[in-house]
Amino acid sequence: MARVSVEYKDHIARVTLTRGDKMNALDDAMIEAIVNAGQEVAASEARAVILSGEGKSFCAGLDLASFAKMGQIDPEAWLMERSHGETNSLQECAMCWRRVPVPVIAALHGSVYGGGLQVALGADIRIAAPDTQLALMELKWGLVPDMGGMALLPDLVRSDVLRQLTYTARPVSAEQAERWGLVTSLADDAVLAAQDLAAEIVRKSPSAIRAAKRLIEVAESKGRADVLMAESRESVGLIGKPEQMEVIAAQMQGRAPKFD
């Protein structure tokens, strides 16, 4: 089944994650579909993009079946390859939205966890519904955020906030996320608010919109490629290690992991 749909209307590209029965969890097909959608809209004549998810959640993070894959592959071959310039395929799920030359607005609801949060971080603007819960979940599974989060979050939140989010893996409410800078604004209907904002943006000069996004990217640049490589390197050192596999097994069995 298709994992992502892309529709165009009134100069706006609507990109929707369509694995709603699985809370839009990221499996291999979803990862590939997100990257392909980003590349498609980047090459289109769209003047703004709305990124959302169907069903109960925007994206609940990595599919559990993908955790099992970790013990069966060489993580270095999987993560260290720069398949898209400065990124691997996982990181490109977030970073592809930064490559789209026009503003990308993420409309968030439900669970926005782990990789799902990092996909949302790639957007220029994030509008969250009141029920949204956001978390960097990776340490729950004995991992570190490695889908572009560490390249993007330092521009959004204070260092102590970044550290608390990372170390605890604790979900935070939409209201708290707005106070911390994880989301731009709140709206009862995040998709409708994103549509209204996109409609306002597309009334501006198309060339000026693209020039403005290029300029902001230059202004915010902090050696992103080095950060993305460091994410992958740390993950390679964790994936498949006995301690990390114990964390995964414990979480899937609903018990607390035990460490000697």
Q: Is 33 exposed, middle or buried (0-12, 13-18, 19+ CB in 10 A)?
A: buried
Helix (H), strand (E) at residue 253: helix 242-253
pLDDT tens digits, 26-47:
999 999 999 999 999 999 999 9
Confidence of residue 68 (pLDDT cuts 50, 70, 90): low
| Domain covering 4-189+221-253 in this structure, CATH number | 3.90.226.10
185-186: strand order across its sheet: 4-9, 12-17, 48-53, 104-108, 125-128, 185-186
Give the model's pLDDT for residue 65.
Answer: 75
pLDDT tens digits, 135-187:
999 999 888 999 999 999 999 999 999 999 999 999 999 999 999 999 999 99
Q: Is the pLDDT of residue 214 over 80?
A: yes
Domain boundaries, the chain: 4-189+221-253
Confidence of residue 67 (pLDDT cuts 50, 70, 90): low
Would you give the distance in Å from CA 260 to the centre of its chain? 34
Give the model's pLDDT for residue 71.
Answer: 58
Q: Report which residue type is found at 22.
A: K
pLDDT tens digits, 69-87:
665 677 777 777 877 888 8
- What average pLDDT does the segment 180-198 reach? 98
Instruction: Record the tokens describing residue 138, joined without a space.
Output: 């990776």
Among the listed residues 141, 22, 48, the one whose alpha carbon sits nearest the alpha carbon of residue 103? 48
Q: What are phi and psi of 72, to 5 degrees?
A: -110, -5
Percent above pLDDT 90 for the chain: 68
Q: Is the pLDDT of residue 260 over 90?
A: no
Sequence-separated contacts (24+) of 254-258 with Cβ below 8 Å: 257/142
Question: DSSP string spanning 17-57?
Answer: E--GGGTT-B-HHHHHHHHHHHHHHHTS--SEEEEEE-TT-
Instruction: Record the tokens describing residue 191, joined without a space.
Output: 């998709």
- What average pLDDT does the segment 109-132 reach? 98
